[in-house]
Structure 1
Amino acid sequence: MVGQYRGLFKTPGVKGFVVAGFIGRMPMSMLGIGVVLLISAITGSYAMAGAVAATTNVSFAIAAPLSGRLVDRFGQHRVIFPLATLNALSLASLMVSARLGLPDWTLFASGFAVGATSLSLGSMVRARWSALHGGSAKLHTAFAFESVADEVIFVTGPALVTVLATMVNPYAGLMVALVCMLGGSVAFAVQRRTEPPVQRVRAGRGSPITIPGIALLSCVYLALGAVFGSVDLITVAFADEHGVKGASGFLLAAFAGGSMVSGLWFGSRTWRISLRSRFVRALGVFVVGLLPIAFISDVGVLAVMLFLAGLAISPTLITGFSLTERLVPPSLLTEGMAWISTSIGFGVALGAWAGGRLTESFGASSAYALSLACAVLAAVVGVGGSGLLRLPEAPSPAKS
């Protein structure tokens, strides 16, 4: 299994962009819970915290395809430098607004600016892998590796920001996120050797969202994003209700940990069933895995169940990005990948907002029913529209 991954890093320049991309996208797991912890500590309201976090995610969801199109047209380095600088200033503004007790609208305005200037660095990393290994069996392993890297981020990020916010001060987690974003993004941008070349866009190509398969994937990931957003916020409230708010990051790390384990296994295998079949099966497993969490009232049991539920996340993301790479023209690849991110972002925003409302009205344990309902919706849409994802299968690679 290790050998499959080791072979990815023989190409010159790969290790550099992988490490920089990993550091630069650490904030994707830190911002949401960091904002929730900061705003809830200041206002005492999870509804307000969820609303600010949702604003950030909505603005990111709107802006991600636009920044992806700019990257496809002008190149990664020309877009990263200005957006990373603006993002750092926006996040600093959010923390200053909270620190000075400025009116609520300043929190929403700053949160919107943070999301609008956030980089879809994961899409850019995957675009580099596609440029290196597009059309080969190595791309499946590369996407699996990136999914595992994402889950390592989601294991360590929430735990780190929770410890910093609860044991140091509420701002510490977001400060670390700012440093990681700026440092990692700049380090990624300066590595020009592995940057995909800018390709001429043919007239009339339009946007990847007009491709039926991409539109379907976007709808599925909208619902899955709602699962992620609601689980994040509800889990923080669940731990708080049980007097162990500091454990919320570790509960979320269990959710991501299950995905990390399955991603390592999934990427090491040579699959003979189609991408479409893998995708719909992963959705079904995700629903089954989430069933128990709506009926749990113990923190320890919840951690185990979140780990088991997380086992289906990586296979779903890996196959989704692989389908996107096959469905989208190379000249629009970054934007196509960004549509997956933007759908997840919208879903996370809706899930965080609705999760906050339901938590305050019915309690955290009952609010988990929202997460389960969104997973069911994702599976229904994905299975029902899976005909749009049928692709001519490439010959099965020989096993090594």
Structure 2
Amino acid sequence: MTTPTTTPRLFRMLASTVGPPYFPLAFVGRLPFAMMIVGVLTVTAIEQGSLALAGVLAAAAGLGTASLGPLSGSLADRFGQRRVLLVLAVSSALAAVGFLALVRLDLPVAVLIASAAVLGATTPQVAPFSRARLVGAASSMPRSDGARAQSVVMSYESMADEASFVLGPVLVGALSAGIAPWAPLALSAVVTLTVVTAFALHPTATLVRTEPDDRPASARTPVRALVTVELTVLVLAMVAVGGIFGSILTGLTALLQQLGAVEQTGLLYGAMSVGAIATALAMMAVPASIGLSLRWITGSAMAIAAVVLLTATDEIPIVALALFVAGCGVGASLVALFSLGAIAAPPDRTNTVLVTLQSSLVVGQAILTAISGLIAESTGATAVFAVGAALAIVLLGLAVASRLAGPSGGDSPRRSAR
């Protein structure tokens, strides 16, 4: 009987495949994406003096990211990540400079919305591209280690995502206060031109399968083939997770505003990120016998309990605990969802599927942040948290549906046959 490879050894094997410098490069490369929406919100609020306009432009940037994200993934599957990321790096830097110039002027709102949407659309989504590369590295391992290595990949990537989304807003706040409101987006442009370009040129770009230009069109997996019940459920689940993020952040801001402690919003919201990071790390050690859909169900149930608790308390310590538990539940769900997406994706459409899932997360967050803001103004924080609880129930329902979809509960081994 073969002894399973330990998690630390699996990670070392992955690191030796991609090279240790890959991880800091891929992490720093995702910071512009993590800083973009908050950066747009901050510079608009200060330069235009309107929180309402700032919210509209931030939503436009988020929807711009989500609308063209799947296209960038599809192009990467066709032409390779390297070409797509190089084009996006230059385009995003120019879009950031353009937005910073326009937001200082007295222009029609439609022009500013268009500029913010272009910035969002061109900001490279390094995270799903990194997932695709590491999935490729995991697929090159022996069959006995491949599935567990993929689980390690998704856990690590979820941890890196959460860490970047903690650090991103902190950098925006520090640079805005210490230098100027334009500094965060300016730094993002510099990082995009340098680090994202280096990520594009990194040798791991070849780990993701692409289709040669001379391959017959009939031999490629058409995009319409991705419109399956399995992937549709995963996309809807990602929208729900994004909505949970957006509603909790908005509800927390409204609650602390009522309590006169709005300055603690970032600190308390960080408890949710800490929970997600801790769970992502813990998921590396979960036995393979506990299937992905079961992990998703467990995470959804934890999120429901936590958000329901938020509707019933205004005690800061209890709120912090509830946010931590919510983060644990969402973290477990995200690892499972991305893993299921990587399994469900045809080998020549890995980038498309993973970027689509990431974009769906952004869509849910952008839409629910806007809706929750209106609810918070008219009704209060409790109603916003109730929306988050309803979304967590939807997430659980989708998890159960995925579990009942087949005898494997959605944990198909197709990827190992790559």
TM over 0.5: yes
- The farther-off stretch of 83-92 and 246-255 is 246-255
1:171-186 aligned at under 5 Å gives the runs: 171-186=182-197
Aligned to 1:397: none
Residues 1:208 and 1:288: Cα distance change in structure 2 (over 3 Å): farther
Aligned to 2:119: 114
Deviations 1:145-196 (A, max 9, x none): 1111111112222233233335554333333333333332111011125532
Note if contact 2:297-2:400 (Cα within 8 Å) is conserved in structure 1.
yes
Residues 1:68 and 1:112: Cα distance change in structure 2 (over 3 Å): same
1:239 Cα deviation from its structure 2 partner? 4.6
1:233-312 aligned at under 5 Å gives the runs: 233-236=250-253, 238-239=255-256, 242-299=259-316, 301-312=318-329
What is the CA RMSD across the aligned residues, in angstroms? 2.8
Of the candidates 4, 21, 24, which is equivalent to residue 19 of structure 1? Answer: 24
1:307-386 aligned at under 5 Å gives the runs: 307-364=324-381, 366-386=383-403
1:392 Cα deviation from its structure 2 partner? 6.2
TM (norm. structure 1) is 0.89
1:314 Cα deviation from its structure 2 partner? 2.0
Once residues 163 and 129 of structure 1 are traced to their aligned partners in structure 2, the CA distance between those partners, rounded to angstroms, is 32
Once residues 364 and 92 of structure 1 are traced to their aligned partners in structure 2, the CA distance between those partners, rounded to angstroms, is 36
Gaps of 5+ in 1: 395-400
1:64 Cα deviation from its structure 2 partner? 1.0
User: One-letter code of the match for 2:74?
Assistant: R
User: One-letter code of the match for 2:129?
Assistant: M
Once residues 257 and 193 of structure 2 are traced to their aligned partners in structure 1, the CA distance between those partners, rounded to angstroms, is 32
Q: Higher relative contact order by CA 8 Å / sep ≥ 6: 1 or 2? A: 1
- The alignment covers a number of residue pairs equal to 396
Residues 1:192 and 1:147: Cα distance change in structure 2 (over 3 Å): same
- The farther-off stretch of 228-237 and 119-128 is 228-237
Once residues 113 and 270 of structure 1 are traced to their aligned partners in structure 2, the CA distance between those partners, rounded to angstroms, is 43
1:221-232 aligned at under 5 Å gives the runs: 221-232=238-249
Once residues 317 and 181 of structure 2 are traced to their aligned partners in structure 1, the CA distance between those partners, rounded to angstroms, is 25
1:310 Cα deviation from its structure 2 partner? 0.4
1:242 Cα deviation from its structure 2 partner? 4.8
Once residues 158 and 28 of structure 2 are traced to their aligned partners in structure 1, the CA distance between those partners, rounded to angstroms, is 14
TM (norm. structure 2) is 0.85
* Aligned partner of residue 21 in structure 2, secondary structure: helix
Once residues 168 and 250 of structure 1 are traced to their aligned partners in structure 2, the CA distance between those partners, rounded to angstroms, is 22
Of the candidates 85, 99, 103, which is equivalent to residue 98 of structure 1? Answer: 103
Of the candidates 135, 138, 143, which is equivalent to residue 133 of structure 1? Answer: 138
1:245 Cα deviation from its structure 2 partner? 4.7
1:385 Cα deviation from its structure 2 partner? 4.4
Note if contact 1:164-1:173 (Cα within 8 Å) is conserved in structure 2.
yes
Percent of residue pairs bearing the same amino acid type: 26
Residues 1:185 and 1:236: Cα distance change in structure 2 (over 3 Å): farther
1:33-72 aligned at under 5 Å gives the runs: 33-42=38-47, 45-72=50-77
Aligned to 1:217: 234
User: One-letter code of the match for 2:319?
Assistant: L
Does residue 146 (structure 1) correspond to residue 157 (structure 2)? The answer is yes
1:74-85 aligned at under 5 Å gives the runs: 74-85=79-90
1:298 Cα deviation from its structure 2 partner? 4.8
Note if contact 1:24-1:184 (Cα within 8 Å) is conserved in structure 2.
yes
User: One-letter code of the match for 1:125?
Assistant: S
User: One-letter code of the match for 2:280?
Assistant: G
Once residues 185 and 255 of structure 1 are traced to their aligned partners in structure 2, the CA distance between those partners, rounded to angstroms, is 28
Note if contact 2:340-2:411 (Cα within 8 Å) is conserved in structure 1.
no
* Aligned partner of residue 99 in structure 1, secondary structure: coil
Once residues 373 and 47 of structure 1 are traced to their aligned partners in structure 2, the CA distance between those partners, rounded to angstroms, is 26
Gaps of 5+ in 2: 1-5, 414-418
Once residues 333 and 153 of structure 2 are traced to their aligned partners in structure 1, the CA distance between those partners, rounded to angstroms, is 15
Deviations 1:119-153 (A, max 9, x none): 22111111111111126021111211111111111
Note if contact 1:84-1:181 (Cα within 8 Å) is conserved in structure 2.
yes
The structure with the larger Rg is 2
Once residues 392 and 368 of structure 1 are traced to their aligned partners in structure 2, the CA distance between those partners, rounded to angstroms, is 32
Of the candidates 167, 173, 176, which is equivalent to residue 165 of structure 1? Answer: 176
Once residues 40 and 235 of structure 1 are traced to their aligned partners in structure 2, the CA distance between those partners, rounded to angstroms, is 20
Note if contact 2:175-2:184 (Cα within 8 Å) is conserved in structure 1.
yes
